[in-house]
Amino acid sequence: MVEKIIDLIGISSNSIEDAVQIALARAGVTVKGIHHAHVEDISAVVEDNQVKQWRVALKATFLVRDQLHE
């Protein structure tokens, strides 16, 4: 078995959890079988002393398939 890890950055104005979900959902459109995500970094864009945007860097792991069209 071989797995591959990709770096993703999710961005949300709502929450950290939403930023993670957005990153995984978008990656899942073209990458099938993501089964693990590790949050590497969380940061916030701040304007007028308010959090305007959450940015979450994560690593997503998926299985490398043996056949092209499984």
What is the tens place of the pLDDT at every residue in 25-54? 999 999 999 999 999 999 999 999 999 999
Query: CB within 8 A of 8, min separation 6: which ones?
Result: 23, 24, 26, 27, 57, 58, 59, 60
Tokens representing 45 are: 């864009």
CATH superfamily of 3-63: Flavin-binding protein dodecin (3.30.1660.10)
pTM score: 0.86
Label residue 6 by pLDDT band (50, 70, 90). very high
Closest C-alpha to 3, from 42, 33, 43: 33
pLDDT for position 68? 63
Label residue 65 by pLDDT band (50, 70, 90). confident
Asked if residue 10 lies in contact with residue 60, where contact means CB atoms within 8 angstroms, the answer is: no
Query: CB within 8 A of 43, min separation 6: which ones?
Result: 54, 55, 57
